[in-house]
Amino acid sequence: MKREPVKVKESEAKERINSFAEVVEGYTEQEALIEAQRCLQCKNPACISGCPVGIDIKKFIFQITQKDYADAYFTIRQKNNFPSICGRICPAEYQCRKACVLTKKDSPFASEQAILIHYLERFVGDYGIRHNLKISIESAGRLNRHKVAVVGSGPAGLCCAGELARRGVKVEVFEGLHKTGGVLRYGIPPFRLPRDILDVEIDYLKNLGVGIVSNFIVGNMKSLHELQKEGYSSIFLGLGAGTPSFLGVTGENLCNIYSANEFLTRVNLMSAYQFPESHTPVNIGKRIIVVGGGNTAMDAARCALRLQKMNGTPCDTTVVYRRTEIEMPARRLEIEHAKEEGVRFKFLVQPEGFQGDERGFVTKMQCLQCALGEPDSSGRRRPVPLKGSDFELDCDVAIIAIGLKANQVLTRVTPQLVVDSHGDITVNPLTMETSIKGIFAGGDIVGGEGTVIEAMGMAKKASEAIIQSLVA
């Protein structure tokens, strides 16, 4: 008998916009069991090929059906250090779920019938946290003579640090910000990733002996060469893609036009939603426009709308995107959640400039209507602006969320480090070693903006190569 997917419980849209509390509740044991039993246990499990780190999905789902939750946890942990995080934020509809045999062929993302693998992963990850399950530490042997520096505490840095520490290597993580987590902390809002989940994972690393030095910008306060002279045998760079892109149109420097990075950092890292208890405010307008179609745009829009609601301002937040909904790179779930919460969408609209008032504050965005043309290099149909279709949208806050580029603070002062035309670090794809011997890199600083699981996959590969170099 064909069973319907088990829907996960979510808080009501009109309630959830009053706070930054988590929206998706996650499966109960009973729900996880029923969803796991839908899995066909395929002879050739296509889902595994869709997972960037190759989790044995078929096996961990089977272990759930047997109520072997601890075993399921260790199956996932063999490949993925942070199942509770990935179970919440992985774009499964483009990865494992899209590859699941229950997805219709040629579908641009997972069909509804595909097994809800990420919710099962989250269930198992949360079980592991609740039951304090720990990965065993391998005997240190000769490795504890070595110390390794990790620069950046995003998912790439944290994953690399965890893998090395678990093998007995002494690890020190250097982070430029005052808090650890990278985008997981300053970009992704708590209503998608509660901070206690992140804190548990970071505490776990500290318990493994990983040292964390925050407020320390490598390249500014110490060079890579100085770190090497201090005795770090290897260095891993997980610098991320923290530099925002802008539209390059007139009026973009008017007041109340934010990059999504600044806006989200103010809200999520500096807790602007708790102002004045927190010290960092953010300007919330009556009409907010968010430009872009990715996860960053969805996060910015959903934060902005919540801030309007919590401020008692009528909710008026609009996402403006050059293509149509189908081409939006954001997770489908975030698009649905944004719509449910009251975020409006204007598709096929290209920003052309901004106008402001006599005080220099933005008042309008000038736009052109577009049509879809031929596919571009990304495979998505190109937006073609239509002549004479100019129009204006009123706004008193605009948030630009059109992509992020390499963080170049360190690479600019390290000319020996070879970078490509985008400023991303060039590595040997087999080892993740950079042009400088003993220095490795991974995550968004290699190959540009990606996903959390991809960043962790690269970090894991680098950690293996670092171990090999230490034992050689």
Residue range at the interface with ligand SF4 (CB under 6 A); choices 37-45, 172-180, 189-197, 302-310:
37-45
98 vs 192 by CB, closer to ligand SF4? 98
Residue 285 within binding range of ligand FAD, rule CB under 6 A:
no
- Shortest distance, position 331 Cβ to ligand FAD, whole Å: 6
Residue with Cβ nearer ligand SF4 (13 or 101): 101
Q: Is 328 in the site for ligand FAD (CB under 6 A)?
A: no
Alpha helices by DSSP H, listed for 140-194, are 155-166, 183-186
* Interface characters, 400-439, with ligand FAD (x: CB under 6 A): ----x--x-xx-----------------------------
Comparing CB distances to ligand SF4, the nearer of 57 and 395 is 57
Is 45 near ligand SF4 (CB under 6 A)? yes
Q: Tell me if 319 contacts ligand SF4 by CB under 6 A.
A: no
CB of 87 to ligand FAD, least distance (A): 11
Which among ligand SF4, ligand FAD, none contacts residue 102 (Cβ within 5 to 8 A by kind)? ligand SF4
Find the binder of ligand SF4 among 33, 46, 129, 135 (CB under 6 A).
Answer: 46
Contact residue for ligand FAD among 452, 462, 466, 467 (CB under 6 A):
452
d(CA 332, CA 460): 28
Q: Which stretch binds ligand SF4 (CB under 6 A): 13-21, 53-61, 173-181, 337-345?
A: 53-61
Q: Confirm or reject binding of residue 351 to ligand FAD (CB under 6 A).
A: no
Is 224 an interacting residue with respect to ligand FAD (CB under 6 A)? no
Residues near ligand SF4 (CB under 6 A) are 39-42, 45-47, 57-58, 61, 100-102, 115, 117
Q: For binding to ligand FAD (CB under 6 A), which residues are involved? A: 89-91, 151-157, 174-177, 182-183, 187-188, 217-219, 238-240, 242, 264, 295-296, 299, 331, 404, 407, 409-410, 443-445, 450-453, 455
